[in-house]
Amino acid sequence: MTSSLADDLRNSIESWARKLRDESALSALVQQKRLTPRALAFYLESLRHLFQNSERHLPLALRGAEQRGDAALAQHFRRKIKEEDGHDLWAANDLSKLPAAITAGQRPAQAVSELLALQRELIGEHPVYFAVYILWAEYFTVLLGDEWLEALASCGFPRSQVSAIAKHVDADREHARQCFDEIDSLWHGEPAAELLLRSVERAGRLFEAFCDEICVEARRAA
């Protein structure tokens, strides 16, 4: 039996998430309880920037779907616009609870800027790429989120201090399930499944680079 796009995406994301959990330098650093407050601020500022601009990209994807006459894909993005509204404020609120000396001068990670550039590129090629990208982001958040929150707590950063992450983990359980239920019907064979899978592999490599940047910041602040 031929596997579906949803099955292929699920397998690809799960395999990558396991590797990220088991092999990334950031996982090791957090297990050693070496994530510093300034590295946390860098992480949260990067997330704030990512959430804010990802939200801004959703209307671009919606317009692309409408221009293609794809009513189902357009409706998918209308729902995502509602779901993602204001998520950057969660991260901004977390940052506001940190000392000003820690948050001062923080800039988003370079890899996050590259992730946002990838989003724009994918939307320009075909908006269904962005639906697949969102599924990647939501599902790996669900796969790794609870363990990650526990690891952050062990470093002295409880859920209340990283609410932007905790709230995403809670919300994305349902969001990812919905996306998996829909993705096969939203995809009509183009772009090819191989290209869609390659796009999330590119996103994964950029996220790995983001994790590496957090490690660099932690070592700098140590």
List the domain range (segments joined by +) for residue 11. Answer: 5-221
Nearest alpha carbon to residue 201 among 13, 4, 7 = 13
Peptide bond into 127 cis (omega under 30): no
Tally of structural domains, the chain: 1
- The residue assigned the tokens 């990670």 is 109
- What phi and psi, each to the nearest 5 degrees, are found at residue 40? -65, -45
CB atoms within 10 A of CB 88: 20
| 10 — pLDDT class (breaks 50, 70, 90) | very high
pLDDT of 134 strictly over 60: yes
Q: What is the CA radius of gyration of the chain?
A: 17
Nearest alpha carbon to residue 132 among 70, 193, 209, 55 = 193
Mean pLDDT of the chain: 96
Q: Look up residue 215 and give its two tokens.
A: 């490690």
- Position 221 scores a pLDDT of 59
- Position 2 scores a pLDDT of 62
- Position 220 scores a pLDDT of 86
How far CA 95 is from CA of 37, 41, 134, 154, 174, in Å, comes to 11, 7, 24, 19, 26
Which pLDDT tens digit goes with each residue over 26-50?
Answer: 999 999 999 999 999 999 999 999 9
- Position 3 scores a pLDDT of 78
pLDDT of 204 strictly over 60: yes
Which pLDDT tens digit goes with each residue over 69-93?
Answer: 999 999 999 999 999 999 999 999 9
- Position 222 scores a pLDDT of 55
Which pLDDT tens digit goes with each residue over 95-120?
Answer: 999 999 999 999 999 999 999 999 99
DSSP, res 2: P
Domain of residue 28, CATH code: 1.20.910.10
